[in-house]
Structure 1
Amino acid sequence: MPWAGIGGVEIATLRLVDATRHQIDHVAFCMQDANVAPAFAERGIETVLYQQPVPSLRHFGRFYQQSKLVASKLRDAGADIVHFAEINGAITCGFAAMLAGAKRVSHVRNVYPTRPLWKDWLILRTVQAFIFVSKQARDFSPIPGGKRKARVIYDAVTVPAPNADQQTSAQLRSDLGIPEGAPVVGMVARVNPQKDYPTLAHAAALVLQQRPDTRFLIVGDKSMVDVNRAHYEEVSALLHKLGIASSFVFAGHREDVKPLIGIMDFCVLSTHREGFPLSILETMAQRKPVIATEVGGIPEIIRPGENGYLVPHGDAQALADRILSLINEPALAQRMGQQAAALVQRDYSPEHFAEEIIAVYRSLVPRGVQTAS
């Protein structure tokens, strides 16, 4: 786990463990002070805290010593395979995994448009398998040997039974200060520069001119790591400048995401770049349509007019128009939400996901695997 915060990468990795834990022995390597570490521990997964090595050729001696410490912990864990949650983990700890004698597989969850630095390139060349979360991420990857070693494995979620708990929904609305009957537009994403909250803010200003009763519910970390905390302050300042701050509700990082999605009429995802956002699958599984930026792997799941809409990158007017169309046609939003859930249930099941992940592991260690994540 190469980062300290909790976002899509961390949540997706927790779900990977949940899907495969009956066949694989997992050990979670989390950075010192990582917010995600307790989530592994709560699942009964052995958790090891580590100090992330800093790759450097100029200071190779220091990097080597740092890597030796991680390698020692990997050997103690009995790791046959080290699965890096993102390529940053492969870059920083790939050498340590080599020293430990473990096989190496890396997820690639975002699209990286530029070729890695040559020192990182040297380490990434040693990764034996890459798991891309979308075809777009694979096709546009500059990772050395990435396409030759590539598997595209879509993330997965479970479609829950319809939730008709009106009392819980009413209580959540009350707790969040959302008036009864107000349209709720949701966005499930950490408050981070990648997610392009300024475009959402400008779109919201246009929506509120016609539907001033609308509320925008944001579910995602806004304070646990420095970059998110700083961006939240910037977004808050913009909302106040636009005069719409009172129409936004920032719930922060929450464990009860599903009930929160339940009170949304539909969701948006204004974002600069994505591999294959898990939040879209979660939202669609909850029978909600999604309006999202046409970037990365998003067009691989959203079928415009059927289960949501795609809008051009950074286009606040287009985003506002689509938001208003679903607010003004609730029956259409409901119908698209049902189609969204049907698609998730058919094509993105946890069982199929687990089979594909295990197949990658077995291709590296045919005799059986005892895996450290």
Structure 2
Amino acid sequence: MVNKVVQLCLSKGNGGMEFYVDRITEDLKAAQIDVIGICLEGTRINTYMQRHQIPYLAFKSSTQALKHVLRIRRWLIEENVRVIHCHKSSDLRLTALLKLVMPSVRVFYTDHMGGQRPKKSLYHRFAYANVERVLSISQATHLRNIRNLPLPSERVVCLPHGVDINKYRPCNDERFIHTKRAELGVPEGAVIIGLPGRVTPGKGQDVWVKALLELDPALPFYAVSIGGTDYASGGEESFYSELQAMIAGTPLEKRISFLGHRSDLPEILPALDLVCIPSENEAFGLTIIESMACALPIIGSNTGSLPELVDEASGVLVGPHDINAWAKAMEAMVRDETTRHAMGKAARARVEQHFSNQRHVKRLIEYYKISADAG
């Protein structure tokens, strides 16, 4: 039976993949699974591992980690580790070498992207040869992985992300909601249209802003973007500047806020009235199920993984670049409080049933155990 797992992520990024490593470390520890880590120095992953107070090895670069494969082997033997869970495709180079010097170790790889191109070259066959399971985070990426990876289909499985439904939940404290809305600068009586996500072209804030500009100025709405606007917080500064130029001099200028990265998202979401997710090709969309867990109706793109997450009861899906459709969907939702509440209630129920972190971790540990028992 497995009781210790390495979380391996040699990433310098600050996005969903890195946040997942943070969350899964916390969830596994809560499930009495010991976690140790391998990361790069000075990265967000390094910070997470320090905060969770887990043993870890940190390297200056991926190349340095590869050069120290024997050192890593000794450490894993000392720690009595049998399972490695990695999260970045380039990290499969390291796991492939570790398999050569530690044949008994079992490797899992969560593909957080679901690439569009085939990976069946000699190198990819070597890198994926000893991966026990590729864990796809949505049905959309699962199908692509079966098609594109050099593995039998039974070794490619679908394991959607989960959200902590106790942390992300509706708030019935009207006083708290009122205080939070005031803190965000929202006028009294306004319907808040939120968009959680790093400000980058892939998240579709430009579509959102263009649709907001088409709304009737008499409509009682206020728009809030929650997510990094600079490189340090995962955003793209030039794209953010373009959005500001779109808004400047328009009525929207006084009816929209870009909050930047916030650590209090579980408190902000329940204060919103609806959430927009205009990403064109979301591999999964954790912010979607976080919002749904807070009983928020969703307006999303009808592409990528969103149709798997949002059904007709919990939201509305439109074309990712159809500005007019986005504007109409937002206007209809702003005007119809009854529908917003009904969809929000259905969204919460859907997450509880299909996308809780307890469900995710239980399935993940089952895969770990099957692997360990097989050895």
TM-score, normalization: structure 1? 0.85
For 1:180, the equivalent position in structure 2 comes to 188
Alignment-derived partner of residue 132 in structure 1: 136
- Alignment partners' CA distance in 2, 1:126 and 1:245: 54
Output the amino acid matched with 1:17: T
Q: Residues 272 and 313 of structure 1 are in contact (CA less than 8 Å); yes or no, is this contact kept in structure 2?
A: yes
Q: Which one of the candidate residues 48, 51, 58 is aligned to 1:42?
A: 51
Deviates more, 1:294-303 or 1:43-52: 43-52
Range moving further from structure 2, 3-12 or 131-140 = 3-12
**Structure 2 CA distance for partners of 1:205 and 1:36, relative to 1, 3 Å:** farther
Q: Distance in 2 between matches of 1:100 and 1:217?
A: 51
Q: Which residue of 1 aligns with 2:270?
A: 262
Partner secondary structure for residue 237 of structure 2: helix
SS in 1 for 2:34: coil
Distance 2:301 2:113 in 1: 15
**Partner residue of 1:356?**
363
Relative to structure 1, is the Cα distance of residues 156 and 64 closer, same or farther in structure 2, using a 3 angstrom cutoff?
Answer: closer
Q: Does 1:291 align with 2:295?
A: no
**Structure 2 CA distance, aligned partners of 1:246 and 1:72?**
59
CA contact (8 A) 2:279 2:320 kept: yes
Q: Structure 2 CA distance, aligned partners of 1:288 and 1:325?
A: 15
Q: 1:195 to 1:319 in 2, by over 3 A?
A: same
Given that 2:108 and 2:134 are in contact with CA atoms closer than 8 Å, whether structure 1 keeps it comes out as yes
Contact 1:219 1:254 in 2 (8 A): yes
Pick aligned residue for 2:227 from 213, 220, 227: 220
2:210 corresponds in structure 1 to: 202
Change (3 A) 1:75 1:319: farther
Partner of 2:99: 98
Distance 1:43 1:70, change over 3 A: same
Output the CA distance in 2 between the equivalents of 1:88 and 1:9: 13
Q: Does the alignment pair 1:148 with 2:157? A: no
1:191 maps to: 199
Change in Cα spacing, 1:232 to 1:158, as seen in structure 2 (3 Å) is: same
Identity across the alignment (%)? 19
Question: Where does the alignment leave 5 or more consecutive residues of structure 1 unmatched?
Answer: 55-61, 369-373
For 1:371, the equivalent position in structure 2 comes to: none
The change in CA–CA distance for 1:51 and 1:181 in structure 2 (over 3 A counts) is: same
Partner SS, residue 244 of structure 1: helix
Aligned to 2:16: 8
Taking the aligned partners of 1:337 and 1:64, their CA distance within structure 2 comes to 48
Q: Distance in 2 between matches of 1:146 and 1:264?
A: 44
CA deviation digits over 1:267-317, x for unaligned, max 9?
A: 11111212221111111110111111112221112112x100111122221
Matched residue SS, 2:198: coil
Tell me what 1:321 maps to: 328
Give the direction of change, closer, same or farther, for the CA distance of 1:34–1:307 in structure 2 (3 Å limit).
same
Aligned residues of 2:199 and 2:240 also touching (Cα < 8 A): yes
8 A contact 1:29–1:48 mirrored in 2: yes
Higher mean C-alpha displacement, 190-199 vs 34-43: 34-43
Q: How many residues align?
A: 358
CA distance in 2, matches of 1:76, 1:201: 54
Distance 1:87 1:146, change over 3 A: farther
Change (3 A) 1:288 1:225: closer
Which residue number in structure 1 is paired with residue 41 of structure 2? 32
Q: TM-score with structure 2 length normalisation?
A: 0.85
User: What is the CA deviation profile of residues 42-97 of structure 1, one whole-angstrom value per residue up to 9, with x for unaligned ones?
Assistant: 3333343223425xxxxxxx89536566666655655422211243443x533354
Distance 1:120 1:76, change over 3 A: farther
Change (3 A) 1:343 1:227: closer
Matched-pair contact (CA < 8 Å) for 1:109–1:274: no
Aligned residue for 2:258, secondary structure, equals strand
**Structure 1 letter corresponding to 2:27:** A
CA deviation after TM superposition for structure 1 residue 330, in Å: 1.2
Give 1:328 shift.
0.4
For residue 291 of structure 1, what is the amino acid of its counterpart?
A: I
